[in-house]
Amino acid sequence: MQYIVLDMEWNQAWPGSASARRVPSPLRGEIIQIGAVRVTEDQHVLDEFSILVQPKFYKKLNSRVSKLTGIKEARLKQEGVPFPQAIARFRAWCGEPSIFLAWGFDDINVMRENLAVHSLNPDWTGAWYNAQMIFNAQTDGSTNQKALSKAMEILNVRSTRPAHDALGDAFHTALVCSKLDLERGIREYGKALRAHEDGLNSTPLPGCIERKVYHDFREKTEAVEAMEGRENRCPVCGKQMQLRGRWYRQQSGRMSAKVACPEHGEMILRLKLQPQEEGLRLTRTVYEAGSDAAVSFQTMTEKPKPRRRRRRGARGGVKLSLKEPGNET
């Protein structure tokens, strides 16, 4: 089966504008250019496809989009074709069933939204993969999304086409993909996707023993209770650990506490809570007692509590009596 490496440019309406309100369903961007490159099963880069698309809903070209892509309204009116025709030509060029690759998650979502507003069948877009995930899994193992230019630099791919042009970006992405093991990458894609969704895209401090991500908590209280109870287990032996002292709250939904295993002693537990579309995502990290995280925690616990300012009275800070003269007892 062949691979089709795809990139698109799309126009966006200004939030709250009349054109944004007229769209029949959510549409984060209306496609104005499609670029694609065919890659064979043995990963040879073959022919190319490019087409301009005449917008139907967001007819006025966003000035930022025009500046970034170099596409002008006059060119779209002269060379662009309606979206249904552009998709028909693109699918005819693809020919046989294909595995689609794009650099990022946005392209597939925007494509499906555009198909939906034109009442076109999206079933052919099922086999779609984010090449960033495959690249990360086969290079540094991180889960953060890298720019295409960074991936080109790492794999020594020379830039020969303009950036922010659908065909140019598709061509460079195809060259990056040709240096990856695509068959293995697609076979292991689920694992790479789960790692990305868990958000483990930063390196923990030295002394990290365990890091886990949870997605099934509805509210903060439930999450913290679980971390104090059933999930508060030693990462070394699995025995139940006990909370020592209280939680210390930090910025951006973070909190830390000291915990202790009956066999392996004290450790530092850090939590990070982040809202999702449904519920909360919680990252639980456990550090050794002698780690930098433990030193940081100790410093935090030794900070003096800020003094509460006394409430001043109405007259020069003198607290007024509520008793009336002559009613003293």
DSSP class per residue in 162-187: -TT-HHHHHHHHHHHHHTS-HHHHHH
Query: Mean of the pLDDT values across residues 91-108?
Result: 92
The end-to-end CA distance of the chain, in Å, is 97
Domain match, 49 and 184 both: yes
Backbone angles phi, psi at 89, to 5 degrees: -65, -40
pLDDT tens-digit profile of 254-312?
899 999 999 999 999 999 888 876 778 888 899 998 888 888 888 888 876 666 666 55
The domain of 231 spans 208-302
Q: Is the pLDDT of residue 192 over 90?
A: no
Backbone angles phi, psi at 158, to 5 degrees: -80, 140
Domain match, 69 and 184 both: yes
Flag whether 179 is in a domain. Answer: yes
CB-based contact 282:213 (threshold 8 Å): yes
Q: Can you tell me the distance from the alpha carbon of 87 to that of 56, in angstroms, rounded to the nearest whole number?
A: 14
Q: Is the pLDDT of residue 109 over 50?
A: yes
Flag whether 291 is in a domain. Answer: yes
Q: Can you tell me the distance from the alpha carbon of 121 to that of 165, in angstroms, rounded to the nearest whole number?
A: 26
Domain match, 149 and 270 both: no
Strands (E), 18-141: 30-39, 45-54, 81-82, 98-102, 128-130
Domain count along the chain: 2
Sign, CA torsion 285/290/293/296? positive
Flag whether 25 is in a domain. Answer: yes
Domain match, 174 and 76 both: yes
Flag whether 295 is in a domain. Answer: yes
Beta bridge partners of 38: 4
Taking the CA atoms of residue 117, residue 123, residue 124 and residue 130 in that order, the dihedral angle to the nearest 10 degrees is 80
3-state secondary structure (DSSP) of residue 259: strand
pLDDT tens-digit profile of 295-310?
888 888 887 666 666 6
Domain match, 19 and 158 both: yes
HSE at residue 200, side-chain half, CA atoms within 13 A, is: 20
Q: What is the pTM of this model?
A: 0.64
Domain match, 222 and 176 both: no
Which amino acid appears at position 267 of this protein? M
- What CATH number should be reported for the domain holding residue 60? 3.30.420.10
Q: Can you tell me the distance from the alpha carbon of 281 to that of 66, in angstroms, rounded to the nearest whole number?
A: 37
Domain match, 171 and 237 both: no
Determine which helix (DSSP H) or strand (DSSP E) holds 268, and give its type and residue range: strand 265-275
Domain match, 238 and 160 both: no
pLDDT tens-digit profile of 39-87?
999 999 999 999 999 999 988 888 889 999 999 999 999 999 999 999 9
Domain match, 71 and 217 both: no
The residue with tokens 């030794």 is: 302
Q: Mean pLDDT of all residues in the chain? A: 85
Among candidate residues 196, 230, 260, the one where a domain is terminated: 196
Q: Can you tell me the distance from the alpha carbon of 207 to that of 287, in angstroms, rounded to the nearest whole number?
A: 5
Q: Which two three-digit tokens encode residue 116?
A: 């939906």
- Residues 6 or more apart whose CB falls under 8 angstroms from that of 130 comprise 101, 102, 103, 104, 105, 108, 193
Kindly report the CA angle at 6 between 4 and 9, in degrees rounded to 5? 165
Q: Can you tell me the distance from the alpha carbon of 291 to that of 270, in angstroms, rounded to the nearest whole number?
A: 13
Q: Can you tell me the distance from the alpha carbon of 165 to that of 162, in angstroms, rounded to the nearest whole number?
A: 6
